[in-house]
Amino acid sequence: MAAPDGRRVRPYLATRGRTRPVQDIAIEALVSTTKNGRTNGSDPEPERERILRLCHSPRSVAEVAAIVSMPLGVARVLVADLETEGLVRVADPHAAFAGSEEPARNLSVLERVRDGLRRL
């Protein structure tokens, strides 16, 4: 989607095609750049480009905000846009457990966390 001058029009992307409200993306949700995001060429918007590079290894939305130096709310919007465009994937722990209990209330997840902490 492009404006007549060729620039992407974020406000439209921000409201179209999203599967969920931006606020629903957990701050710990892991963002990773997809194959398309890696091969798409550099993004004209510097913040988006930084996110795409950063998330070659998965980072939480909170890390994206901190490292790219933007408020959490702005990071969520950009991440949601990139997700809509297929350039990043967002692994939301709550969505992953939709229909069953949340990971934080799942005994085997908690056991793994406990054992992982003990091993540190």
Partner 1 sequence: MAFVDSEVSGGTQADQDALSVKIVVAGGFGVGKTTFVGAVSEIEPLRTEALMTEASTSVDDLSMLPEKRTTTVAMDFGRITLADDLVLYLFGTPGQNRFWFMWDDITRGAIGAVVLVDTRRLADCFGAIDYVEQRGIPFVVALNAFNGVQEHDVEDVRDALQVGPEVPFVVTDARERESVKVVLVTLVEHAMSLIQQT
Within a 10 A sphere around the Cβ of 116, how many other Cβ atoms? 9
Contact residues for partner 1, defined by CB under 8 A: 1, 17, 23, 26-30, 32, 34-36, 38, 40, 58, 60, 62-63, 65-67, 71-75, 84-87, 89, 91, 93-94, 96, 102-105, 107, 109-114, 116-120
Tell me how far apart the alpha carbons of residues 55 and 79 are, in angstroms, rounded to a whole number. 10
Residue 117: CB minimum distance to partner 1, A: 5
Residue 93: CB minimum distance to partner 1, A: 5
Tell me how far apart the alpha carbons of residues 20 and 17 are, in angstroms, rounded to a whole number. 9
User: Closer to partner 1 at the Cβ: 46 or 69?
Assistant: 69
Residue 64: CB minimum distance to partner 1, A: 9
Residue 48: CB minimum distance to partner 1, A: 12
Query: Mapping DSSP to helix (H, G, I), strand (E, B) and coil, where does residue 70 land?
Result: coil
Tell me how far apart the alpha carbons of residues 47 and 98 are, in angstroms, rounded to a whole number. 31
Tell me how far apart the alpha carbons of residues 18 and 81 are, in angstroms, rounded to a whole number. 8
User: Closer to partner 1 at the Cβ: 46 or 101?
Assistant: 101
Asked if 48 and 41 count as a contact pair (C-beta separation under 8 A), the reply is no
